[in-house]
């Protein structure tokens, strides 16, 4: 019933008989049904596993926005294509396959139902398109093979050891096999049909046509036999591919787009607050069951591409943590646990009793994920920002930290000290809380208690209030505001620590106490606009405080500086000569997309030359102080030293920062490199203040005496 | 094992201490109150012994109403119950120790922990007086402790050496820094602590009068430090000479 055969093909009405020389359509139907059944069973099984473990979580709200994200990053591959080589290879395979599948569907429709337009010009362009995209897939597969088996980048492994599995090879061979057999089948067909009965348009199928030239001398019958065998080979590979999807890494064809659709729509880095301290019996994540189902599903969307690992500051300085390994370890644990849980639940259903789920052999926290991995994370958000599958690593890590801190109180002693300092003096350094406003005394800045009618609250934060280096930044920034005539005040001793280090260090209880203290004071004064010089406070106030009734317009000081400069409120006339590089703070850049303003402020400074480090913007390298790491011992190679080295390599003489944690880390990194005589780290506020040229000359004597 | 930990609430080490104008004590406004750090070592050691050998830990404190927070802190760390003796403000070491002794006598005890001293009044007497009043041995300023066969073996550092002291139980041990690293209370611990029993007593319940043997007559701020001097000038040699002159004639250190 090959409808195509009704046409009389000729130049001007080009076409061909689809399924030529492949007459056993009934058998093909059976095999297709079998393949689909295997696929469906696999998917059903996977579905059971996805839904077996985990707390409920709604990831199906705002459908429109989710579909948009799915189309952008799934269908258009925007995120995947950000990394050129792997982006191109995946794009070639993805778009190639996408087109070929539609081509196969058109072929099948033509064969069974008939397509009135499947001849002539349409046919020729169709053939050419299939040819091009077939070749694209083949090129993609070769690129993938080269990358995985010859080039062997570290990201496709862990600590120099490739983590290839047989499945990786099977999938590539399968894809390559489908294309290769497709082209050979085509070549064989062309070999016996070309120029027979006027079939001269096969040149449009240029790859198959060229390949057919190599078949010169192969006889008609042999060709037909070979064609038949390979046609079936091609069909079996294609059906095998379909059947294999749920049992292999190919499952990402389903899980990754699903994960893109279900990705968090909350502002970057937002952590869901614990709300039931009084009633809950456990806090944080101790076992797989404590994750939400989506947090577990994440791990099934991971393709081990390793982009996360490529910029992870912990991994790159030799710590055991790799975001990829973390997700894969969770996945392995889930693959072991889910069938056990499913079996226990179904047994319980039959007997009508409560399911008795055996305890896991390995504890999730401490064994599946080792504590050194858990505590190495700086919450820098590189992994999440650069994951093409929208996997959410950081909340998992913080969840497990919460368990260690809140439930077991088992964590680094230096972090315990930090928390106690925050409890007793509302700052991680443990300096007397009564000293918080002292830096501002000589500047005549009024606390809100004296003048609540100001436009901006300058939320100084702990570093700006207590750290000697940080205080200088506060002073510089306050002087700029004063010079620009901005109406602002501070909270003074009424200010509390923002709590970021407690939150990210797993101490949600302490964090909420800090947040509530601040919110109570700020709301009491009717604060609407806030400026922070520390991106950690900035991020917490902007994104996490709204959970507790603290909703403000929050600005980072570099945003204000860029604005004051562009509005001409401050003039930068004094040259600050030197080659500077700007180090993106994670909590400013990746967390809040503030990339341009700090650079705008810097490039406005006369005499200053800005050079960029290789790792910048959304691929910036953390200073090592986020995620409460500021307060913890670092073993082995230091992240800040590595970052300072990157600045040196960029040819910078000075490092400009917009974060007091980064300032400390970069200053220390410069010292580690013994470059403190020639290199310096400065906050942008200090640079801008210097460029304003308003600082009165320091008495020379005093400067000398201090030295 | 029945373990007792005596705790005192003191101002945080970083708190700003202002002496009241009338010299009767310190200004309490704005002060963050914490458990005396040396007492914390005692609580931690008691908890570790309990976790190893079983038993209960009772915290006993003499202090005003706010001292309840400190008792709750110890309960959050893992102690079972508390006794709070309230109306002995400004008590001297003897009255404090008498109240503690009276409370402890009502509880069976094997080992009593005190801090080696409290960081507010620095008297370092309560532990010793308490041992006398209880009629049991005492080992003070302990940095290491082992308990076996109803005896303790305690290490006490002294100038240039360490002493290993054995004593029979029951006894009183005063804790020094180095004995252990006090734990951070878990959140369930904090939540449970709110419901643990604390006996609130008055000094009179133990027949202790507010007629103290020793009283602080007056509290004075420490003498203020004279401001530092910066030697000005361009010539380092002249400045150095000036420095030597000042160190010799004014500071009288060389």
pLDDT per residue as tens digits for the range B76-120: 999 999 999 998 988 999 999 999 999 999 999 999 999 999 999
Identify the closest residue of chain A to B190 by CA–CA distance: A406
pLDDT per residue as tens digits for the range A120-176: 889 899 999 999 999 999 999 999 999 999 999 999 999 999 999 999 999 999 999
Q: Is the pLDDT of residue A554 over 90?
A: yes
Q: What is the mean pLDDT of residues B153-163?
A: 96
- For residue B134, give how far its alpha carbon lies from the nearest alpha carbon of chain A (Å): 34
pLDDT per residue as tens digits for the range A426-462: 999 999 999 999 999 999 999 999 999 999 999 999 9
Tokens 């005499």 locate to A607
Q: Is the pLDDT of residue B55 over 60?
A: yes
Q: Is the pLDDT of residue B53 over 50?
A: yes
Cβ–Cβ under 8 Å, residues B7 and B71:
yes
Residue A27 belongs to some domain of the structure: no
Structure-block tokens of residue B45: 């050691």
- For residue A277, give how far its alpha carbon lies from the nearest alpha carbon of chain B (Å): 8
**DSSP character string of A562-587:** HHHHHTTSS---S---EEEEE---TT
A444 and A574 part of one domain: yes
Where does a domain end: A352, A383, A407? A407
pLDDT per residue as tens digits for the range A281-294: 899 999 999 999 99
Q: What is the mean pLDDT of residues A402-415?
A: 96
Q: Which residues contact A369 (CB under 8 A, 6 or more apart)?
A: A326, A329, A330, A400
A616 and A645 part of one domain: yes
User: Is B232 in CB contact (< 8 Å) with chain A?
Assistant: yes
Instruction: Determine the structural domain holding residue A374 and report its residue range.
Output: 288-407
The per-residue pLDDT for A262 is: 97
pLDDT per residue as tens digits for the range A104-134: 888 888 888 888 888 888 989 999 999 999 9
User: Rounded to whole angstroms, how far apart are CA atoms A216 and A194?
Assistant: 12
Query: What percent of chain A is predicted at pLDDT more than 90?
Result: 86
A393 and A425 part of one domain: no
Residue A25 belongs to some domain of the structure: no
Neighboring chain A residues of B181 at a CB cutoff of 8 Å: 413
A22 DSSP assignment = -
pTM for this structure? 0.93
- Residue A44 exposed, middle or buried by CB count within 10 Å (0-12, 13-18, 19+): exposed
Question: Does B191 sit within 8 Å of A409, measured CB to CB?
Answer: no
The per-residue pLDDT for A702 is: 44
User: Is B159 in CB contact (< 8 Å) with chain A?
Assistant: no
pLDDT per residue as tens digits for the range A299-334: 999 999 999 999 999 999 999 999 999 999 999 999
A475 and A510 part of one domain: yes
Residue A634 belongs to some domain of the structure: yes
The per-residue pLDDT for A701 is: 44
ipTM of the complex: 0.89
Q: Which long-range contacts does B24-33 make (Cβ < 8 Å, 24+ apart)?
A: B24/B219, B25/B90, B25/B216, B25/B219, B26/B219, B30/A434, B30/A493, B32/A424, B32/A425, B32/A433, B33/B9, B33/B66, B33/B67, B33/B69, B33/B70
Neighboring chain B residues of A434 at a CB cutoff of 8 Å: 15-16, 30
Measured CA to CA in angstroms, residue A239 lies from A37, A90, A103 at distances of 11, 21, 15
A531 and A393 part of one domain: no
Question: Which is nearest to A275 in space by CA: A500, A499, A511?
Answer: A511
Residue A275 belongs to some domain of the structure: no
Identify the closest residue of chain A to B11 by CA–CA distance: A424
Structure-block tokens of residue B238: 């002249």
Residue A264 belongs to some domain of the structure: no
A643 band by pLDDT with thresholds 50, 70 and 90: very high
Residue among B12, B14, B186 whose CB faces A409 most closely: B186
The per-residue pLDDT for A8 is: 67
pLDDT per residue as tens digits for the range A227-247: 999 999 999 999 999 999 999
A77 band by pLDDT with thresholds 50, 70 and 90: very high
Neighboring chain A residues of B186 at a CB cutoff of 8 Å: 406-409
Where does a domain end: A355, A387, A407? A407
A249 and A293 part of one domain: no
**Domain count within chain A:** 3
In B85-144, the residues whose Cβ lies within 8 Å of chain A are none
Q: What is the mean pLDDT of residues A372-378?
A: 98
The per-residue pLDDT for A389 is: 97
Neighboring chain A residues of B189 at a CB cutoff of 8 Å: 409
Q: Is the pLDDT of residue A20 over 90?
A: no
Q: Is the pLDDT of residue A19 over 80?
A: no
Residue among B16, B185, B230 whose CB faces A434 most closely: B16
Residue A542 belongs to some domain of the structure: yes
Mutation site for A-interface testing, chosen from B28, B70, B184 by largest number of A Cβ within 10 Å: B184
- For residue A372, give how far its alpha carbon lies from the nearest alpha carbon of chain B (Å): 19
Domain ranges of chain B: 2-206, 224-254
A511 and A388 part of one domain: no
Q: Is the pLDDT of residue A206 over 60?
A: yes
Question: Does B12 sit within 8 Å of A416, measured CB to CB?
Answer: no
Q: Which residues contact A544 (CB under 8 A, 6 or more apart)?
A: A270, A271, A273, A503, A515
The per-residue pLDDT for A697 is: 55
Q: Is the pLDDT of residue A7 over 80?
A: no
pLDDT per residue as tens digits for the range A659-672: 999 999 999 999 99
Question: Does A420 sit within 8 Å of B184, measured CB to CB?
Answer: yes
Question: Does A283 sit within 8 Å of B15, measured CB to CB?
Answer: no
- For residue A422, give how far its alpha carbon lies from the nearest alpha carbon of chain B (Å): 12
Question: Does A433 sit within 8 Å of B14, measured CB to CB?
Answer: yes
Where does a domain end: A227, A253, A279? A253
**Rg of chain A taking only CA atoms, in angstroms:** 31
Identify the closest residue of chain A to B13 by CA–CA distance: A432
Q: What is the mean pLDDT of residues A552-564?
A: 98
* Second-level CATH architecture of B2-206: 3-Layer(aba) Sandwich (3.40)
User: Is B16 in CB contact (< 8 Å) with chain A?
Assistant: yes
Q: Is the pLDDT of residue A2 over 70?
A: no
A388 band by pLDDT with thresholds 50, 70 and 90: very high
A670 and A522 part of one domain: yes
Query: What percent of chain A is predicted at pLDDT more than 70?
Result: 97
Q: How far does Cα A37 stand from its chain's mean position?
A: 35
- For residue A424, give how far its alpha carbon lies from the nearest alpha carbon of chain B (Å): 6
A620 and A486 part of one domain: yes
pLDDT per residue as tens digits for the range B178-236: 999 999 999 999 999 999 999 999 999 999 888 899 999 999 998 888 888 888 888 99
Structure-block tokens of residue A660: 């007091």
Measured CA to CA in angstroms, residue A172 lies from A86, A144, A241, B71 at distances of 14, 8, 10, 66
The per-residue pLDDT for A192 is: 86
User: Rounded to whole angstroms, how far apart are CA atoms A478 and A484?
Assistant: 10
Average pLDDT, chain A: 93
């Amino acid at each position: 019933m090959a409808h195509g055969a009704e046409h009389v093909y000729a130049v001007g009405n080009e076409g061909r008989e689809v399924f030529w020389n492949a007459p056993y359509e009934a058998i093909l139907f059976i095999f297709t049904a079998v393949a689909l059944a295997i696929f469906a069973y696999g998917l059903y099984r996977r579905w059971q596993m996805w839904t077996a473990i985990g707390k409920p979580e709604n990831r199906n709200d705002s459908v429109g926005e989710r579909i948009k994200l799915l189309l952008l990053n799934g269908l258009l591959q925007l995120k995947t294509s950000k990394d050129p080589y792997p982006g191109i290879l995946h794009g070639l395979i993805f778009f190639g396959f996408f087109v070929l599948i539609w081509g196969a569907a058109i072929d099948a429709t033509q064969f069974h139902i008939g397509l009135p337009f499947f001849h002539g010009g349409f046919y020729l362009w169709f053939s050419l398109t299939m040819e091009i995209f077939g070749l694209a897939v083949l090129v993609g597969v070769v690129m993938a093979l080269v990358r995985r088996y010859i080039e062997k980048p570290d990201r496709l492994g862990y600590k120099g050891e490739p983590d290839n599995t047989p499945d990786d090879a099977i999938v590539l061979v399968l894809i390559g096999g489908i294309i290769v057999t497709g082209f050979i089948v085509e070549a064989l067909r062309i070999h016996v049909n070309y120029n027979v009965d006027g079939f001269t348009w096969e040149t449009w199928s240029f790859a198959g046509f060229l390949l057919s030239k190599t078949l010169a001398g192969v006889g008609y019958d042999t060709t037909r036999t070979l064609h038949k065998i390979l046609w079936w080979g091609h069909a079996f590979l294609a059906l095998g591919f379909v059947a294999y999807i749920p049992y292999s890494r190919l499952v990402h064809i389903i899980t990754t787009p699903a994960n893109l659709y279900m990705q968090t729509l909350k502002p970057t880095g937002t952590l869901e607050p614990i709300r039931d301290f009084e009633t809950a019996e456990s806090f944080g994540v101790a076992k797989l069951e404590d994750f939400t189902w989506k947090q577990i599903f994440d791990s099934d969307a991971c393709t081990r591409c390793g982009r996360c690992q490529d910029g992870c500051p912990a991994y790159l300085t030799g710590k055991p943590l790799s975001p990829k390994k973390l997700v894969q370890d969770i996945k392995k644990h889930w693959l072991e646990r889910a069938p056990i849980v499913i079996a226990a639940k179904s047994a319980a259903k039959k007997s009508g009793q409560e399911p008795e789920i055996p305890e896991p052999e390995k504890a999730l926290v401490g064994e599946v994920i080792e504590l050194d991995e858990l505590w190495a994370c700086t919450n820098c958000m590189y992994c999440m920002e650069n994951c093409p599958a929208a996997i959410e690593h950081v909340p998992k890590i913080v969840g497990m930290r919460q368990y260690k801190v809140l439930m077991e109180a088992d964590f680094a002693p230096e972090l315990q000290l930090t928390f106690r300092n925050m409890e007793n003096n509302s700052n991680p350094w443990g300096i007397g809380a009564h000293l918080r406003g002292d830096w501002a005394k000589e500047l005549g800045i009024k606390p809100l208690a004296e003048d609540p009618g100001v436009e901006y609250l300058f939320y100084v934060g702990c570093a700006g209030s207590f750290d000697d280096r940080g205080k200088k930044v506060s002073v510089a920034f306050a002087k700029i505001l004063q010079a620009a005539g901005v109406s602002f005040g501070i909270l003074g001793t009424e200010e509390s620590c923002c709590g970021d280090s407690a939150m990210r260090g797993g101490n949600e209880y302490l964090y909420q106490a800090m947040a509530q203290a601040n919110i109570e004071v700020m709301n009491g004064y009717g604060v609407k606009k806030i400026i922070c010089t520390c991106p950690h406070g900035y991020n917490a106030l902007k994104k996490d405080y709204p959970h507790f009734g603290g909703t403000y317009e929050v600005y980072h000081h570099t945003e204000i500086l860029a604005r004051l400069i562009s509005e001409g409120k401050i003039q930068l006339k004094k040259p600050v000569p030197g080659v500077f590089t700007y180090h993106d703070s994670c909590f400013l850049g990746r967390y809040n997309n503030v990339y341009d303003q700090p650079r705008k402020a810097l490039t406005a400074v006369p005499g200053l030359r800005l050079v960029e480090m290789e790792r910048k913007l959304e691929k910036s390298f953390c200073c090592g102080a986020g995620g409460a790491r500021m307060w913890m011992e670092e073993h082995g190679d230091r992240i800040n030293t590595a970052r300072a080295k990157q600045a040196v390599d960029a040819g910078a003489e000075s490092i400009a920062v917009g974060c007091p944690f980064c300032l400390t880390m970069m200053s220390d990194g410069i010292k580690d490199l013994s470059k403190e005589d020639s290199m310096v780290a400065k906050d942008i506020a200090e640079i801008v203040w210097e460029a304003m040229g308003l600082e009165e000359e320091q008495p020379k004597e005093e400067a000398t005496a201090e030295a | 094992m029945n373990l007792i930990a005596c705790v005192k609430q003191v101002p945080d080490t970083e708190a700003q201490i202002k002496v009241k104008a009338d010299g009767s004590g310190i200004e309490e406004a704005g002060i963050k109150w914490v458990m005396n750090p040396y007492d914390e070592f005692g609580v931690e050691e008691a908890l570790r012994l309990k976790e190893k050998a079983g038993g209960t830990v009772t915290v006993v404190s003499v202090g005003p109403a706010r001292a309840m927070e400190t008792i709750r802190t110890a309960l959050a760390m893992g102690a079972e119950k508390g006794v709070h003796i309230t109306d002995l403000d400004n008590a001297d070491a003897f009255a404090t120790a008498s109240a503690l002794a009276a409370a402890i006598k009502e509880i069976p005890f094997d080992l009593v922990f005190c801090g080696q001293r409290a960081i507010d009044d620095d008297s370092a007497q309560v532990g010793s007086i308490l041992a006398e009043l209880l009629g049991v041995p005492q080992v003070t300023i302990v940095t290491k402790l082992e308990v076996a066969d109803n005896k303790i073996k305690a290490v006490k550092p002294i100038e240039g050496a360490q002493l290993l002291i054995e004593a029979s139980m029951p006894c009183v041990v005063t804790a020094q820094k180095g004995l252990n690293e006090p734990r951070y209370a878990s959140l369930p611990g904090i939540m449970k602590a709110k419901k643990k029993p604390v006996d609130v007593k008055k000094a009179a319940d133990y027949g202790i009068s507010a007629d103290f043997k020793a009283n602080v007559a007056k509290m004075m701020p420490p003498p203020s430090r004279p401001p530092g001097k910066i030697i000005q000038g361009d010539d380092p040699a002249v400045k150095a000479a000036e420095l030597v002159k000042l160190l010799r004639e004014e500071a009288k250190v060389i």
